[in-house]
Amino acid sequence: MARPDCLPEPFHALALRYGGVGALAKAFGVTRRTINRWADGSRKPQGPAMILLGQMLKGTR
Protein backbone atom coordinates (compact mmCIF):
# COMPACT_ATOMS: atom_id res chain seq x y z
CA MET A 1 0.00 0.00 0.00
CA ALA A 2 1.55 3.25 -1.12
CA ARG A 3 1.36 6.33 1.02
CA PRO A 4 0.71 9.63 -0.78
CA ASP A 5 4.31 10.72 -0.12
CA CYS A 6 5.60 7.60 -1.94
CA LEU A 7 3.82 8.42 -5.20
CA PRO A 8 5.30 10.45 -8.03
CA GLU A 9 3.77 13.74 -9.04
CA PRO A 10 0.99 14.30 -10.04
CA PHE A 11 -0.49 11.32 -8.20
CA HIS A 12 1.05 12.57 -4.95
CA ALA A 13 -0.92 15.81 -5.13
CA LEU A 14 -4.15 14.01 -6.00
CA ALA A 15 -3.75 11.49 -3.20
CA LEU A 16 -3.12 14.28 -0.70
CA ARG A 17 -6.15 16.20 -1.92
CA TYR A 18 -8.42 13.17 -1.65
CA GLY A 19 -7.12 12.02 1.72
CA GLY A 20 -4.89 9.15 0.65
CA VAL A 21 -4.42 6.52 -2.01
CA GLY A 22 -7.45 4.55 -0.83
CA ALA A 23 -9.72 7.57 -1.10
CA LEU A 24 -8.31 8.43 -4.53
CA ALA A 25 -8.90 4.85 -5.67
CA LYS A 26 -12.47 5.02 -4.39
CA ALA A 27 -13.05 8.25 -6.36
CA PHE A 28 -12.03 6.38 -9.53
CA GLY A 29 -13.78 3.15 -8.60
CA VAL A 30 -10.52 1.19 -8.80
CA THR A 31 -8.20 -0.53 -6.33
CA ARG A 32 -5.18 1.01 -4.62
CA ARG A 33 -3.05 -1.33 -6.67
CA THR A 34 -4.44 0.18 -9.87
CA ILE A 35 -3.56 3.70 -8.69
CA ASN A 36 -0.04 2.50 -7.89
CA ARG A 37 0.26 0.90 -11.34
CA TRP A 38 -0.86 4.13 -13.00
CA ALA A 39 1.65 6.05 -10.91
CA ASP A 40 4.58 3.75 -11.74
CA GLY A 41 3.67 3.66 -15.43
CA SER A 42 3.07 -0.07 -15.69
CA ARG A 43 -0.58 0.60 -16.58
CA LYS A 44 -2.44 3.56 -18.04
CA PRO A 45 -5.97 4.67 -17.24
CA GLN A 46 -8.44 3.99 -20.03
CA GLY A 47 -11.70 5.57 -21.18
CA PRO A 48 -13.64 7.45 -18.52
CA ALA A 49 -10.84 7.09 -15.96
CA MET A 50 -8.44 8.88 -18.32
CA ILE A 51 -10.92 11.73 -18.79
CA LEU A 52 -11.53 12.02 -15.05
CA LEU A 53 -7.80 11.94 -14.33
CA GLY A 54 -7.22 14.72 -16.84
CA GLN A 55 -9.89 16.87 -15.20
CA MET A 56 -8.51 16.18 -11.73
CA LEU A 57 -4.96 17.01 -12.79
CA LYS A 58 -6.05 20.37 -14.20
CA GLY A 59 -7.22 21.26 -10.70
CA THR A 60 -3.82 20.52 -9.11
CA ARG A 61 -1.91 23.16 -11.06
Extents of the domains making up the chain:
4-58
Query: Is-contact 11 57, C-beta < 8 A?
Result: no
| Model confidence, pTM | 0.74
- Tell me the pLDDT tens digit for each residue of 49-61: 888 888 887 775 5
Predicted confidence at residue 8, as pLDDT, reads 58
Predicted confidence at residue 1, as pLDDT, reads 47
- Tell me the pLDDT tens digit for each residue of 3-61: 544 555 778 888 888 899 999 999 889 999 999 998 888 998 888 988 888 888 777 55
